[in-house]
Structure 1
Amino acid sequence: MNPSLDKLQPYPFQKLATLKAGVTPPEELNHIPLSIGEPKHKTPVFIRDALHDNLHGVATYSATKGTPELRQAITDWLIKRYDLPPESLDIERHVLPVNGTREALFAFAQAAVDASRQPQVLMPNPFYQIYEGAALLAGAEPVFLSCTDENNFLPDFDGISPGTWKRCQLLYLCSPGNPTGAVADMATLQRLINLAEEHDFIIASDECYSEIYLDEENPPPGLLQAAAEMGNTEYRRCIVFNSLSKRSSVPGLRSGFVAGDADLINPFFLYRTYHGCAMPTHHQAASIKAWSDEQHAEENRSLYRKKLEAAHDILYDVLPVERAAAGFYLWPETPVSDTEFARGLFAQQNVTVLPGSFLSREVDGMNPGSHRVRMALVAPLDECVEAAERIKTFIKSL
């Protein structure tokens, strides 16, 4: 077997299961999971109908590149959402449908990294563990860039050494961030594009939380938008990943896209023809409907805002919880260690949260997720309110 498999750490939820083992929460309290970022809002009926109405597609193989209609719907959405020059995006050259961003974020590193040159792959810390696994199995060394409150939960790009930039082949960026909700502004994105040109690396921007934000008038900027505004309408060294899972509450649809630099998309497409990962045609039909409608995405954001506001109002006087600009997570500091907090909360209140240290790696003796927990406000409003009340009760008992 590939010896790099031995370098993979247990997934955060495996660690969480071990942490909770042997604990019996109160039977009279229903379990409220805030640990997994799996949307629980109802999938819009028109998306389900499109799936049902196109089931005849299971009788044929689907193309790796997807249908022209799906690529056009994605392209139209990108142009409208980020105000991109229409002529800068070609459905044949710049866009590929993928089965959710998770598989694409992993696969892209396998296609992009040259393992013969002692590569490094940079990523935020805390982070989505797929980035680390992708780097390791591509033969690269992961480099963790700690995101702390001192730096507004964004990586300190000023602190990266010239030697690291020289070895960097791929930079994973996550904006809005998981779990912090931090948003990289336009200046930061454009600075990274300039650094990529200077040091010869690729930026892989995970933007799957881009459509969950608080201010309807100020959506988070995207990497392609930043490139276009600085005149880089070929999107050199820029590749973005996005998904319908959060935007449209269809995590089981496994539908997303990769878009950007045609010189990156083309070889990645070749890789994917061998990878065998074409999206089923009925999923493509439903995806076209989803990318073409904004009303349901606006309604989805409204639901998350209500939950985030409600949880904040309940917790703010007992827990230093800040309202992030985007995403559906809370990332508060804990009065005891994050693992003690998570285990005790489950034992006393039957609420599950994810210890922040499980989402991070220790760098220079410090784990940036330590003494923090991730709370995913994906449950219905009433459950999120009840969970917040139980968390408040637990904190008062400490």
Structure 2
Amino acid sequence: MLNDLTFYTHILSIVGDIIKVRAKQAGLGDLAVVENWDGERSLAQVIAIHRDEVSLQVFTGGKGLSTEARIQFLGHPSQVTFSENILGRVFNGAGEPTDGGPSLQGDPRVEIGGPSVNPVMRIVPKRMIETKVPMIDVFNSLVESQKIPIFSVAGEPYNQLLARIGIQADAEIIVFGGMGLVFDDYHFFRTTFEEEGVFPRTVMFVNQASDPIVERMLVPDMALKVAERFAVEQKKRVLVLLTDMTAYADALKEIGVSMERVPATRGYMGDLYSQLALRYERACDYRGAGSVTILTVTTMPGDDVTHPVPDNTGYITEGQFYLHDGMIDPFGSLSRLKQQVVGKTTRDDHGQLMNTMIRLYSGAREAEKKQAMAFDLSPFDHKLLTYGKIFRQRFMEIDVSLPLVDALDLGWQTLAECFQPEELLMKQELIDKYYPANVGDSKT
């Protein structure tokens, strides 16, 4: 039975998963319990209020609901358990454990959502998160407190890349949020974290494709609230992994359509930018505490970067990693915060080596076009072709794993195998210091 005598039965309509009821003392985002005529109960969330008309999204759907159902408002928004005991646990989009582990009934709970961080608590990011992925560490460094997506398309190994970064990144806590995942993807992430030994310091919030769509909207808020608490209260360096933000945006669109809201571009609601920004802006390096770094997957329908989800995301985030053909594209990728760490907290040759390698790889791409069109190639063009092939194998394949220092050394080795020192157009002091002396005349 409901533990409070205040309940409402004046249901106005049931459209899909949305029910409307006349009620007072309801707040936007508050939870409610919907009890059907047969005693079956479900959680619902207030998603709109117009005077005394309240719209609720029912977690388990509106199928089978009667207009005789009664509703009790709980007086608070969704909450998530936060304590040391949530590490190594898996939760669904409603914040309930799904791994069969011990009950967390007595552990403290915190409300999700709320405003982002007070700007005076933010400090300028200055520490790099090493991922051991050369195309990130060397060419587009991930910086603590950065918010950055992986732009990709269906069929690309973006989840494999996200999992690799999770197990290799030098973060203290990993918070994973999955939205609309098929079971195989969920199982992949969980087994990967377990087998690689990072699961004891990982928290997972997973909404599977078969789960209620409203829970899909709650996953990012739960993951980010837990990350904030670890960063602020325990001074941890937290990395948040979210996949897929396009599924999150699609959930917003579906609920907006159910509420008969007027859509904007391609059916998405006009507040898509605000909804995405509210989540991404929780990335922060806290003064006197830890940090929250956000790395997400954003799939682009039709590989269209002008699609509303990647388009709005690009205005909010600080760059992107562009994944296609199973590789991170050095030209489509960008980290706008890398200048905060390259050559400052990393080795002194990092900036020059990064720029030189990309410049020469660009030349290799041009040489490949000349070769395809049967133009005459110069001896230097042949060197560029060899370099381009080696560069892709050693750096662009996403299964390559190297610490940053080793990746920088391999960069010099690769340059030395293909080019003479004077062909690099680099500072002589760096060539004298880092150009390998043992390559000799073995250059291609």
TM-score relative to the length of structure 1:
0.30
Compute the TM-score of the two structures, normalised by the length of structure 2: 0.28
Name the one with the larger strand percent.
2
Determine which structure has greater relative contact order: mean sequence separation of CA pairs < 8 Å that are 6+ residues apart, divided by chain length: 1
Structure that is richer in helix per residue: 1
